[in-house]
Every structure is written in C-alpha cells, then in structure tokens.
Chains A and B, each alone.
Chain A
Amino acid sequence: KNQVEQSPQSLIILEGKNCTLQCNYTVSPFSNLRWYKQDTGRGPVSLTIMTFSENTKSNGRYTATLDADTKQSSLHITASQLSDSASYICVVGVGSQGNLIFGKGTKLSVKP
C-alpha cells in the first residue's frame, strides 16, 4: 500500500532556531516528492518538487533532501521566523499517471 508518513506530528521551536521535518514513504513506482506549506485556513503552497535524480533542492530558507534508496526526505528550515508557523505537507507522486499520496503533515509553531 502506498503510504507517506511524516514526523514529528507537531513541533515547537524558538524564533531563529533551525529545524528538520521528516518524511518516509513506501510508494512504488516513485515519480517525485513535493513539500508544501499550509497556513491555517489557507490552501497549501508549493515549496519544492524533487525527482528521483535530485538529492537536494532549496527555496530560500527551506532546503529539502531526498534519499531515494532509503525512501526518506527531510525539510530543513534555517533561522526560523514567526511566519514559518504552519503545517508542512510531504506529497509523493506515483508513476506516470501522477497519482499523489499526501502525508498528514507536521504542524510547526515558531515562538518568539
């Protein structure tokens, strides 16, 4: 069964600190892996998309990594800001048809 598991479920950090969110997947055949940021009551916004051959992709203070061998991805947030408080969703694309498997998200709270 295709699944995407994210950890931790929630996380609280102080402003200015770094953090790393994890995503493990059991999806076959793998097509791509995406990270989205979703503010409360808003729609998700795309942060990165990585294909099988990409190990790292950055978007400002957000850096995503992908290890296709271990089927793991991480999202690293550097020098966190209050505006980083949101849910971060890992999404894996399946095969050529493009079905997407969504994780349940990690809820990040950045405190002053």
Chain B
Amino acid sequence: DGGITQSPKYLFRKEGQNVTLSCEQNLNHDAMYWYRQDPGQGLRLIYYSQIVNDFQKGDIAEGYSVSREKKESFPLTVTSAQKNPTAFYLCASSLWGRGAGQPQHFGDGTRLSIL
C-alpha cells in the first residue's frame, strides 16, 4: 500500500541534543511538508519542499532543519535551539506543490517529548 511512514512513533530528547524525525513516502509525490501540532492549536507549517534539493521555511522554522536529497525522504531535525520541542510532529505529502490544490496525505506522526 502506498503511504507515508514516520518513525519513530515516540521520541525523547535530552537537553542540548539534536534529534531527527524520519519521513518516507512511496506515493511518488513531489511535495512534502512538516507540521507541528500542539494541544488546542491548529497545525503549523515548519518546512515545505516542492522538489528534491529545494525547501522553504514555514511559519515556525526556527530551531528546525530539513533536507530533501531524495524524492521519497524528508527528514526533520529538531535542534537544541528549539526550546519548546514537545509536540506531535506530522509529515505530509501532495502530488504537486501546495498551490495546486491537491489533498495532502499525512503520516501517523511522531510524538516528541523532553526528558
């Protein structure tokens, strides 16, 4: 079955540590996204990539970094500069860029907590 796989499902970060969240898709979608979901808030865009080797900052990119070396993969690194990383992180993809009005397909998320 085609879909988006996020791993790990749960992740714990120590003070001063960088952690990387994995996102892989086999839908052959061009665009990929990272969102952060906090209780009682709407999803907020962290980073967006329309094609390989290209990505753009979203609304809350500070303290995060991404890479897009392969079409299928879009890992997110939460750096030590992100002082409040505890949240549910969702990866998504769409067939074309977000301006095309295509539905976004989401993974099942990674829940990140601070130790």
A: residues with CB less than 8 A from B are 4, 31-32, 34, 41-46, 49, 51, 89, 93, 95-105
Contacts and interface: CB of A to CB of B under 8 A. Distances in A.
Contacts, number: 55
Contacts of B11: none
* Interface of A: prevailing SS: strand
B93 to A, nearest CB: 11
B16 interface: no
Interface of B: 4, 6, 40-45, 90, 92, 97-101, 103-109, 111
Nearest to A42: B108
Contacts of A96: 99
7 contacts: A4-B42, A43-B92, A44-B43, A46-B103, A93-B98, A98-B99, A100-B104
A98 B41 contact: no
